[in-house]
Amino acid sequence: MFYRRAGIRHTSYRSERRLWPLPFDRGLVAAVVVLLLVAPLVVERLYLIGYLMPWIIWSTAALGLNFLMGGAGQIHLGYGAIIAIGAYASTHLARAGVPFEIAALGGGLASAVIGSAFGATALRVKGLYLAMATLAMQSVVDFLITHVPWISGGGQATLTVPPARFLGADLRVDLAAYYVALSVCAVVTLFVLNVGRSSFGRALAAVREKDYAAAVIGVDPFRYKLLAFWVSSFIGGVAGAVLAFCYYRAISPDQFHLDLSIQLVAMVIVGGLGSVLGPFFGAALILFAPILLNQAVGALAAAFGLGISADLRAHLPLVLYGALIMGFLLAEPLGLAKIYDNVRKYFLVWPFRHAPR
């Protein structure tokens, strides 16, 4: 009914090849972009810093991980370490006087080099073994950051991010930081969207589906897996730089532990493996469901004067959170993006019930 067409019809190749072939989708994307652009002027600072900012940054990182996990089918349990490398490399570069624009790219490059070096060793194995290998990478990077004072920033193990400017805008101002994070996210999103339509993206999909079948059509699986590691680690590194400069402003090793890796994997899976929309939904759910549930339980306890203990009061949201994730995955194993897709398809073929094959 919103799409004003029962099914997808095109009259020219040009119209079919567009990024968003349907006018309604184009309108929706434009509306979301406009909303995000005016958000800092409209919403309260709490929502800007407490919600929008982490959502955008985590979505960027999850997009990078999804590129590897959903795009090339390689599981990665050490993505937190990739982000850490980006954050530390860019911070050290900036402390050495390098401007943020270059420091962020340098962070991405450092992540890409180290990430694909680990990827190369890890790629001799597949599936669960790859999971273990990337897990080992997480431990190695954690250990190095914690035990080399030169990296971690001395005995207090906290590295303060120096004042930085992006194209002249002071990143310590929240407004500037928000727009920088948003534009990095937009660039990454557009990149990931377009890779899916390129020969590179199709080669990755071939490697994901059956790597030996890809080999017999002339796609070198090792090379493309490594490229996927490289690109994904680069995105993770840049996300790490944005995280450090725009959001945390002081980094310490425990911000990038396995917890972060697991959180990102959860975002990708709950959001929808291989979907570009998925990381955005997944990041929103994983980041905010605990906070909102916590407030809801607190408000309910206060409203009804329930004398529940602090322990239960703190753990109940976690229980609900777990139930929520399981519920979503049971309702739609392919993730939140697939739920959106189902709804979209329903309206796309409306008023018919089904699309013809």
Partner 1 sequence: MSLLTLNNIEVVYDRVFLAVKGISIEVPPSGLVALLGANGAGKSTVLKAISGLLRAERGEVSRGNASFAGEDVLALAPPERVRRGLVHVLEGRRVFEHLSPAENLLAATTMHRDRARVARRLDEMFTLFPRLAERANSKAGYLSGGEQQMLAIARALMTEPKLILLDEPSLGLAPFLVDEIFDIVRRINAEAGVAVLLVEQNAVAALDLVQSAYLIEQGRIVMSGSAEMLRANPDIQEAYLAGGKAVDYHAVKHYRRRKRWLA
Partner 2 sequence: MKRRTFLTAAGAAMVGMQFPIRLASAQEKVIRFAMPQDFTRVYTFVTVEYSQGQRDYISMVNAKGGVNGYQILADVTDHANDLPRALEAYERAKAQGALLVDPLSTPVARALVPRATADKINLITAFSGRSDAADGETFPFVFPMSPNYWTQAGLLIDFFRQQDGDLKGKKICFVHIDTPFGKEPIPVLEALAAKQGFTVQAFPYTPPGNDQSAIWPQVRRAKPDWVVFWGAGVGQTVALTEAIRNGIPMNRVSSSVWLSESDMDVVGRAQAAGVIKLEPCASGRSPKLIQDIIKTVIEPGKGAGDKAKVGTAYYNYGVMMAALMVEGVRKAFEKAPNGPIDGPWLNAGLTSISNFEAEGLIPPTTVTTTDHQGGGRCRIARWDGAKFAPATDWFSANQDVVWAEIKKSTDAFKASGK
Answer for which of 21, 50, 196, 201 binds partner 2 (CB under 8 A) is 50
Whether residue 99 is preceded by a cis peptide bond, meaning omega within 30 degrees of 0, is: no
Distance CA 148, CA 230 (A): 25
Please report whether residue 311 would count as binding partner 2 according to CB under 8 A.
yes
Answer for which of 113, 255, 262, 349 binds partner 2 (CB under 8 A) is 255
Please report whether residue 310 would count as binding partner 2 according to CB under 8 A.
yes
Positions in 322-351 near partner 1 (CB under 8 A): 342, 345-346, 349
Please report whether residue 148 would count as binding partner 2 according to CB under 8 A.
no
Please report whether residue 327 would count as binding partner 2 according to CB under 8 A.
yes
Buried b (16+ CB within 10 A) or exposed e, 277-289: bbbbbbbbbbbeb
Q: Are 57 and 242 in contact (CB under 8 A)?
A: yes
Q: Are 59 and 264 in contact (CB under 8 A)?
A: no
Please report whether residue 281 would count as binding partner 2 according to CB under 8 A.
no
Instruction: List the end-to-end C-alpha distance of the chain, in Å, as a whole number.
Output: 20
State which residue, 132 or 262, has the beta carbon closest to partner 2. 262
Positions in 170-229 near partner 2 (CB under 8 A): 172
Q: Which does 54 bind (CB under 5 to 8 A by kind): partner 2, partner 1, none?
A: partner 2
Type of residue at 56 = I
Please report whether residue 9 would count as binding partner 1 according to CB under 8 A.
no
Answer for which of 125, 295, 322, 355 binds partner 2 (CB under 8 A) is 295
Identify the H or E element spanning 169. strand 169-170
Q: Which does 136 bind (CB under 5 to 8 A by kind): partner 2, partner 1, none?
A: none
Beta bridge partner(s), residue 190: none
Distance CA 333, CA 225 (A): 25
State which residue, 139 or 342, has the beta carbon closest to partner 1. 342
Distance CA 124, CA 120 (A): 7
Please report whether residue 25 would count as binding partner 1 according to CB under 8 A.
no
Please report whether residue 250 would count as binding partner 1 according to CB under 8 A.
no
Give the contacts of 56 (CB within 8 A, at least 6 positions apart): 36, 178, 181, 182, 185
- Look at phi and psi of residue 203 and say left if phi exceeds 0, alpha if psi is from -120 to 50, else beta: alpha
What is the binding site for partner 1 (CB under 8 A)? 342, 345-346, 349, 353-357
Residues near partner 2, by CB under 8 A: 44-46, 49-51, 54, 58, 95, 146-147, 152-158, 160, 162-163, 172, 247-250, 252-255, 259, 287, 289-296, 298-299, 309-311, 313-315, 317-318, 324, 327-328, 330-332, 339
